[in-house]
Structure formats: C-alpha cells, structure tokens
Amino acid sequence: MVDVLEIATELVFRLRSEASASPKAEICGLLFGDRSRIAGARACRNVHPEPARRFEVDPAALLAAHRAQREGGPTLIGCYHSHPSGDATPSSTDADAALPDGSIWLIVTETAARAWLATADGPVHGRFDALGLRVGLRAEDGSVTRASSGIYPREGSR
C-alpha cells in the first residue's frame, strides 16, 4: 500500500460540497479506484437511524457495487463519509465500525478531506493509519484539467 493516494481536484470539491449541503447529517458513499488512486465516488443513502452522528451505507448500494465489480465494473476500494463537526479525523465510533481489511476511508468536511487506511493495529483508535492525499489534475473521467494540484500531508495520530 502506498502512503499517498491521488484524487482529482474536482472529486474533492464535489465531496466537500456534498458535506457542506448536509450540515446536520453525515453523508456517505463508496470509493472506486486502486491502491494508489481514488478514481471515483458514488453517493449512497445514509440508512443509519442516527445520521447526525453516524453513517451506514445503504446495503443495497454496497451489494450492487460488489456485483458490478465481479462483472468487470470499477473496483471498490472503500467508503467516504462526512463529519458535520468539521473534524476529518476518524472517531472512536468509526473505529468500532471499521473492519481491519485495508479499505480506504475518506472523511470529508466542508473545508477538508483526509484519507485513512483501516488496519488491525493503526495508531488512530487502534484501527486507522493516516494516508496523504495528492490532489491532482486528472478528472474522474480520466481527462486532464488545468486546475492546480497540491497535497494534503499525512498527519500523525491525534
């Protein structure tokens, strides 16, 4: 696994915009790509009974993504969700819900996006390792844009 993931500038802006549009409830969705790049994201319904504090990706959407992957569709690499509190660091609730399966967890807020790797012994709540996000020029459809790129550095545990 790499320590830095690439993600398109427009995708980061789209997810942050989704988070901004839902200040009272967590948004969530699925991430697609490979171990070096988040190539796309699909918004899903948050079916958790307490959406202001927790998220649960709609199981039907998750099953459909797995089925599509088996049939040659995009590779599911993880999930994203928002923290209306404004902190893009995993909570202990996130750690309790995460399987130590190497999946990517992207947490977005109105102003930030941070990537995490779900592991068996991560320094954050014993479950997550921080990953850097290289915000790049490549759009979800593979085209190259003229937007500037940058990197959200990997930060240590809190």
User: Pairing state of beta strands 76-82 and 104-108?
Assistant: parallel
Label residue 158 by pLDDT band (50, 70, 90): very low
SS3 42: strand
Question: What is the percentage of the chain residues whose pLDDT exceeds 70?
Answer: 85
pTM over 0.75: yes
Max CA separation in the chain (angstroms): 42
C-alpha–C-alpha distance, residues 37 and 91, integer Å: 24
Q: Does domain 4-152 have CATH number 3.40.140.10?
A: yes
Q: Which of 81-85, 98-102, 141-145 has the lowest mean pLDDT?
A: 141-145
Q: What is the mean pLDDT of the chain?
A: 88
127 within 8 A of 98, measured Cβ to Cβ: yes
Band of the pLDDT at 85, cuts 50, 70, 90?
Answer: confident
